[in-house]
């Protein structure tokens, strides 16, 4: 498999799709820092680079979908995947090599965002505080496993379909749907149990008060729906991304997120390899 | 005879469509095996199956003695270079970068041979031009160069003349003949251009509707297709005596007809037959080409 890895990494280094994605994420990182700087100048408040350090998380699904579907779609559109199979490489090795390179590519895109944030952020916003390191270590680890999940899912999709255009479109739409679904799940989980009582005065001077009201959208503690939503929130890589970005992962949750990511990787890689073994390549 | 590739009752189905059916073929070592068939006859499907891109639905094949179901098949495939349908090249890379990529896939330790390989296929002056800016013929040559990387023992080419200009076709033909003669590379080549194939092939396989209709060597084909004069007489024994006396090669077809494989002096033959008491009923020259042989074999009309 070392031969395949050498060939795939060499192609990654020359891939325009990879560098386009990396440039986009670096620009996004720079934009986030500049926004922070603008906020600091305007309000006089304190801001530091670590506040936007994990701002990539929300976009990583879309970036991974774009990069992997185009990078691997080229193998099918140019027909070059045939060269690997005709040369006698076993299919599972071709798949695994692709998965490894895709994971590396997604992580490098991540790292390029972080590098852009610090290269621009430290001079403009100053060094992060001392509490940053443990926070960065945990979120860094969670980012790695989130990248693994995204890469495994989109690699499976790219390997099992041979039409580059449709793979790219479907992957990006799927990433968006995942993000929207996780956003909906999170907002549902954060619904308050009751609407707080409040009072307001009308134009004619009447004071209207509203009593505390139960929220019909609240998911009861221990209900099946809440447990399913909590599970999906932690299982889906898009849910993990939102958690990382909002820095609300407890240590107890972090273990579960790692476990769920490993599960997603194993299921998608296993399913992908099984499907790729049987696939008729044109 | 030693065979590099053999298939036995090979079948391939795509849903309800049967692309290959009970196909048996034998590619001898050192041969240029011309694979002939109509569009949709199953040529590309067979090549895909043999190259490991698709799995057969029935039957089996052996490549350098390794069955397709054995673990050794992957090792045997390392001796194969192939261009299946369109050339498999990265369009965003130069010819040299494409070959480097192929060398890495094959695990070749050095890129030293790349200039010679590019020279061999006539692409040594493409410089930094990317493959997406190549003509179809240039891509075809690059595909062949990629297939030749790693010095394969078997070269599988699917319609290699597609998109080539007449000069390109001649160059590819000469390249294949050179590879076959100088490096003893066995070539399996599918083509529609029967005239072109007839200048190359040492063996033929005729496929129709996924089934091998006939395998024949070029020598056998030549004897079947050779120019001859078909004569009809009233006494076939008298004709045989006359032809023996004249030292001519012939083949008796029936009680009244025979094929003569030589230029026939008609007056002399007619006089000699008259002296034997035999009448010359009719005489006609006949020549069969690969094309007419193929048409007779599979039937001319589209079905």
Mean pLDDT of the A14-29 span:
92
Partner residues linked to A245 by β-bridges: none
| Higher per-residue pLDDT: B289 or A163 | A163
Give B73→chain A minimum CA distance, Å: 8
Q: Which residues of B65-95 are buried (b: 16+ CB within 10 A; e: fewer)?
A: ebebeeeebbebbbbbbbbbbbbbbbbbbbb
Are the Cβ atoms of A78 and B91 closer than 8 angstroms? yes
Is residue A22 within 8 Å of A112, Cβ to Cβ? yes
- How far, CA to CA in Å, does A178 sit from each of A153, A182, A248, B225, B292? 12, 6, 19, 67, 62
Are the Cβ atoms of B51 and A7 closer than 8 angstroms? no
B132 touches chain A (CB under 8 A): no
The ipTM, to two decimals, is 0.82
Are the Cβ atoms of B90 and A11 closer than 8 angstroms? yes
pLDDT at B297: 80
Banded pLDDT at B146 (limits 50, 70, 90): very high
Is residue B219 within 8 Å of B190, Cβ to Cβ? no
Mean pLDDT of the A194-220 span:
82
Domain spans of chain A, in order of start = 2-185+227-278
pLDDT exceeds 70 at position B302: no
| Higher per-residue pLDDT: A43 or B256 | B256
Q: Among B73, B88, B104, select the one facing A82 at the smallest CB separation.
A: B88
| Higher per-residue pLDDT: B102 or B137 | B102
pLDDT at B301: 52
pLDDT at B300: 59
Question: Taking CB atoms and an 8 Å cutoff, what residues of chain A touch B53?
Answer: 82, 85-86, 280-282
In tens, the pLDDT along B5-51 reads 999 999 999 888 888 999 999 999 999 999 988 888 889 999 999 99
In tens, the pLDDT along B82-123 reads 998 889 999 999 999 999 999 999 998 888 899 999 988 888
Banded pLDDT at B127 (limits 50, 70, 90): confident
Are the Cβ atoms of A88 and B93 closer than 8 angstroms? no
pLDDT at A66: 92
Are the Cβ atoms of B92 and A16 closer than 8 angstroms? yes
Q: What phi and psi values does residue B158 have, to the nearest 5 degrees?
A: -100, 110
Mean pLDDT of the A85-94 span:
92
pLDDT averaged over every residue in chain A:
88
pLDDT exceeds 50 at position B303: no
pLDDT exceeds 80 at position A219: no
Mean pLDDT of the B272-279 span:
90
Question: Taking CB atoms and an 8 Å cutoff, what residues of chain A touch B97?
Answer: 14
Domains and CATH numbers, chain B: 3-217 (3.40.50.300), 227-286 (3.30.70.100)
Banded pLDDT at A45 (limits 50, 70, 90): confident
| Higher per-residue pLDDT: A38 or B163 | A38
- Report chain A residues touching chain B, CB-CB < 8 A: 2-4, 6-7, 10-11, 14, 16, 74, 78-90, 278, 280-282
Mean pLDDT of the A138-147 span:
86
Identify the residue among A12, A73, A74, A78 best suited for mutation to test binding to B, counting B beta carbons within 10 A and taking the highest: A78
Mean pLDDT of the A168-172 span:
93
Is residue A15 within 8 Å of A64, Cβ to Cβ? no
Is residue B5 within 8 Å of B25, Cβ to Cβ? yes
The gap from C-alpha A242 to its chain's centroid, in whole angstroms, comes to 8
pLDDT averaged over every residue in chain B:
88
Banded pLDDT at A98 (limits 50, 70, 90): very high
């Amino acid at each position: 498999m070392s031969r395949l890895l050498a060939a795939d990494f060499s192609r990654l280094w020359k891939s325009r799709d990879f560098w386009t994605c990396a440039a986009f994420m670096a620009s996004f990182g720079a934009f986030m820092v500049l926004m922070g700087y603008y906020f600091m100048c305007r309000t006089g408040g304190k801001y530091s680079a670590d506040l936007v350090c994990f701002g990539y998380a929300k976009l990583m699904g879309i970036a991974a979908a774009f990069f992997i579907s185009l990078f691997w779609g080229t193998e099918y559109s140019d027909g070059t995947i045939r060269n690997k199979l005709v040369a006698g490489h076993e299919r599972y090795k071709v798949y695994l090599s692709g998965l490894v390179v895709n994971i590396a590519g997604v992580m490098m895109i991540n790292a390029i965002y972080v590098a852009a944030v610090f290269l621009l952020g430290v001079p403009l916003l100053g060094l992060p505080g001392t509490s940053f390191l443990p926070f960065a270590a945990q979120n860094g680890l969670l980012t790695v496993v989130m990248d693994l999940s995204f890469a495994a899912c989109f690699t499976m999709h790219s390997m099992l379909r041979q039409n580059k255009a449709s793979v790219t479109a479907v992957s990006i739409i799927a990433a968006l749907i995942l993000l929207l679904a996780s956003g909906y799940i999170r907002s549902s989980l954060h619904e308050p149990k009751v609407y707080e009582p409040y009072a307001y005065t009308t134009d004619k001077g009447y004071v209207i008060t509203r009593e505390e009201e139960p929220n019909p959208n609240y998911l009861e503690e221990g209900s099946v729906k809440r447990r399913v939503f909590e599970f999906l929130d932690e299982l889906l890589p898009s849910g993990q991304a939102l958690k990382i970005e909002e820095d609300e992962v407890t240590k107890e949750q972090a273990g579960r997120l790692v476990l769920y990511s490993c599960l997603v990787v194993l299921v998608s890689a296993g399913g992908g390899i099984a499907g790729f073994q049987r696939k008729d390549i044109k | 005879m030693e065979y590099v590739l053999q298939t036995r009752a090979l079948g391939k189905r795509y849903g309800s469509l049967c692309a290959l059916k009970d196909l048996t073929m034998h590619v001898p070592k050192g041969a240029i095996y011309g694979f002939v068939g109509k569009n949709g006859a199953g040529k590309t499907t067979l090549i895909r199956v043999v190259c490991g891109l698709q799995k057969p639905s029935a039957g089996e094949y052996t490549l350098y003695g390794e069955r397709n179901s054995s673990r050794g098949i992957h090792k045997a495939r390392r001796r194969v270079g192939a261009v299946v349908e369109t050339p498999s090249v990265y369009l965003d890379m130069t010819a040299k970068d494409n070959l480097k990529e192929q060398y890495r896939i094959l695990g070749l330790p050095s890129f030293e041979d790349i200039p010679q390989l590019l020279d061999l296929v006539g692409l040594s002056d493409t410089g930094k031009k990317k493959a997406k800016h190549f003509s179809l013929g240039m891509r075809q040559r690059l595909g062949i160069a990629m297939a030749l990387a790693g010095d394969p023992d078997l070269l599988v080419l699917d319609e290699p003349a597609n998109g080539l200009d007449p000069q390109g076709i001649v160059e590819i033909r000469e390249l294949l003949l050179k590879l076959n003669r100088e490096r003893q590379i066995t070539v399996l080549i599918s083509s529609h251009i029967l005239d072109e194939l007839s200048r190359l092939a040492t063996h033929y396989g005729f496929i129709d509707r996924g089934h091998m209709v006939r395998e024949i060597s070029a020598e056998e084909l030549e004897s079947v297709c050779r120019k001859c004069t078909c004569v009809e007489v009233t006494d076939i024994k008298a004709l045989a005596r006359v032809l023996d006396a004249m030292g001519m090669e012939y083949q008796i077809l029936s009680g009244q007809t025979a094929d003569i494989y030589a230029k026939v002096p008609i007056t002399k033959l007619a006089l000699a037959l008259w002296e034997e008491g035999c009448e010359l009923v009719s005489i006609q020259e006949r020549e069969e080409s690969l094309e007419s042989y193929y048409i007779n074999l599979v039937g001319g009309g589209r079905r």
